[in-house]
Amino acid sequence: MDTPSELVATAVGRHAPILPQVEQLYVDAFPAAERVPFKRLVQSPLNGYTDKLWVFTRNDEFCGFMTTITRADLTLVGYFAMMPALRGQGNGSAALQLMRGMMPQQRIALEIEVLDPQAANYSERVRRRDFYIRNGYRMTSIQYWTYGVPFVVMVNGADISAEEYHQFYDPLVKS
């Protein structure tokens, strides 16, 4: 019996041949209000939006991507998406576990949309929160507005204070 091949994470640069696939998934997975221009996103690390662009592959097939920004012992996941055909099969969890294993000492933070029952995509927001909780993240009381969209911070690892998060994040959105 064949064993499924492992998911692989690779940090790629702004000239990587896989970028058109990453860009298409980025555009498809995130609302326009939540996206920075893709070219600006991949100019890292000069612009502060990302330190690394991680591409997830299995058998050299593109599965998804994640952007991260790291300062000291805190890593922020900026964007994370898996190919639609691979969702709901444990691939996103495998990607998060892979990244956790690569950064065992890091606190890993991410933002999800505030759980507003009036939001048109409320059930999607709840599913997203539950997905991250199943993968070791927990809600914080830190709320943030980015590009006019309200988010709440989740963290995996040691706690983070609102003051610490603002010191980390405020310079990024002003760049």
Find out whether 116 and 106 touch, Cβ atoms under 8 Å: no
Distances, alpha carbon 91 to alpha carbons 5, 25, 65, 85, 155, in Å = 12, 15, 11, 10, 20
Sequence ranges of the domains in the chain: 8-173
Domain 8-173 has CATH 3.30.230.10: no
As given in the structure block, the two tokens for residue 38 are 């893709």
Q: Are 154 and 137 a contacting pair, CB within 8 Å?
A: yes
What is the tens place of the pLDDT at every residue in 45-61? 545 667 899 999 999 99
Determine the Cα–Cα distance for residues 138 and 145; give it in Å rounded to an integer.
Answer: 19
pLDDT at 1 over 70: no
Q: Which residues pair with 65 in a beta bridge?
A: 55, 81
In tens, the pLDDT along 119-160 reads: 999 999 999 999 999 999 999 999 988 778 899 999 999 999
Which pLDDT score is estimated for 2? Answer: 40
What is the reported pLDDT for 67?
94
Whole-angstrom distance, CA of residue 152 vs CA of residue 77: 13
Q: What does the pLDDT read at residue 139?
A: 98
Token look-up 């790291």 returns 70
